[in-house]
Amino acid sequence: MARLPLCQSGIWRLPGPEDGVYAYLGAFKGVYSGNNSTGKPFKLYVWGGNPPPRKINFGNSDNCANTFSLTASVGGQTVANSVDGNSEWGKSGSFSFDVPKGASFSITSNGMLAYGCDYGTFSIFRYQ
């Protein structure tokens, strides 16, 4: 990943490791779980959570279109949640959360399963 010079107190310098780096962890479907074994805390940025379109017969759910569901937990405790089952307008969810060193974490997108929709897909960036 390219690093651009930063201006600090009127002096240009290249960023060092103390400035942090973004890393794309990938796109996932349903659940992503991991452990922070880096020795330092990090922040995860998550977005998406949309299930694929699927023909369903459940009220006005509009075949799973325009809905999303994302939930994050750290050490078994829910730390972030973003859900919208309203099928009006296109949308997706997003949130960020911190993961302490040594902690386990998981991100889940399954909030629309009760309506007959599939698991949602989401993407993750880590900042450390």
> What are 34's strand-pairing partners?
105
The dihedrals phi and psi of 31, each to the nearest 5 degrees, come to: -140, 140
Residue boundaries of the structural domains of the chain = 21-127
How much is the pLDDT for 27?
Answer: 97
Question: What is the percentage of the chain residues whose pLDDT exceeds 90?
Answer: 52
Confidence band (pLDDT; 50, 70, 90) for 6? low
- Kindly report whether the global pTM for this prediction surpasses the value 0.85: no
- Provide the Cα torsion 17, 22, 26, 30; round to 10°: 110
pLDDT digits (tens, 9 = 90+) for 116-126: 889 999 999 99
Class of domain 21-127: mainly beta
Which secondary structure element, helix H or strand E, spans residue 34, and what is its range?
strand 31-35
Tally of CB atoms within 10 A around 50:
24
| Overall average pLDDT of the 30-39 stretch | 97
d(CA 109, CA 120): 5
pLDDT digits (tens, 9 = 90+) for 41-76: 999 999 998 888 887 776 655 678 778 899 999 999
b/e burial code for range 4-14 (CB count within 10 A of at least 16 → b): eeeeeeeeeee
